[in-house]
Amino acid sequence: MSTATNVEATAVNTIEWLAAGSTTIVVPVYQRQYRWDIGGCERLLSDIRSVADADESHRHFIGSILSAQDGATDDDLILIDGQQRITTLTLLIAALHHSVRGTDPQLAAELERVLVRADDPSRTKLRPHDAWAGLYESVVLDRRDDADRESRFDDNYAFFRSQVHADEVARIWRGLQRLEHVSITLGAQANAQQIFESLNST
């Protein structure tokens, strides 16, 4: 039986995967717009609370995340499948970070390493494509200058801020650290856009 030579799949801790090194996770232009609703955020938060309160050996599997190496740089990953989940997780982590940065600098630093690049704290680790990168970054980096604007980033971030008070942040962070996924990475010869379209076709 032949084996795949252009695909690598590994079960990983989601938070450590997000926080690794100076990697930027890039959402390509052919991806649909971020559209998770409050219902999806509620279910995610419920799952995280459940695994946080379970025995220490418990983990919560969030599925597979498909990415490809960016041919232009060794550090960047092109996110082919998993944008909705990863974006929502980072919005939750941003909400936690903003809740405790003035009272618990050690926890705030742990949260921040998932959100921003270690080599450039002005850049988020997740990079939506240019059509809405500014909106996303202004939420995660807390640089919003228009409190009345509307976007899914703003709505879901605001939901998390309203649901998780500062005294629960450590519990939610414990649950987040117990999330796992299968990381599927395509090699340099793979056609990322073609694979994305195949995954999302009817």
pLDDT digits (tens, 9 = 90+) for 38-89: 999 999 999 999 999 999 999 999 999 999 887 666 678 899 999 999 999 9
pLDDT score at 74: 62
**Which of the 8 DSSP states describes residue 6?**
S
Mean pLDDT taken over the chain = 89
Q: pTM, whole model, 2 decimals?
A: 0.90
Question: Tokens 């032949």 map to which residue?
Answer: 2
pLDDT digits 0-9 by tens, 103-162: 999 999 999 999 999 888 889 999 998 888 999 999 999 998 766 678 999 999 999 999
User: Which residue intervals of the chain are DSSP H helices?
Assistant: 14-19, 38-53, 83-100, 105-115, 133-140, 152-163, 169-176, 192-199
pLDDT of 191 strictly over 80: no
Lowest mean pLDDT among 98-102, 120-124, 187-191: 187-191
pLDDT of residue 189: 62
CA separation, residue 143 to residues 94, 99, 109, 122, 134 (Å) = 12, 15, 18, 11, 10
pLDDT tens, position by position, 146-171: 666 789 999 999 999 999 999 999 99
Query: How many other C-beta atoms can be found within 10 angstroms of the C-beta atom of residue 163?
Result: 16
- Asked if pLDDT for residue 200 goes beyond 80, the answer is no
User: Given this model, what pLDDT does residue 4 score?
Assistant: 57
Q: Which is more confidently placed, 184 or 177? A: 177
Task: Tell me what pLDDT residue 66 has.
Answer: 93
Q: What is the pLDDT of residue 8?
A: 85
pLDDT for res 69: 80
Query: Is it the case that residue 7 has pLDDT exceeding 90?
Result: no
Contact yes or no for 125/117 (Cβ under 8 A):
yes
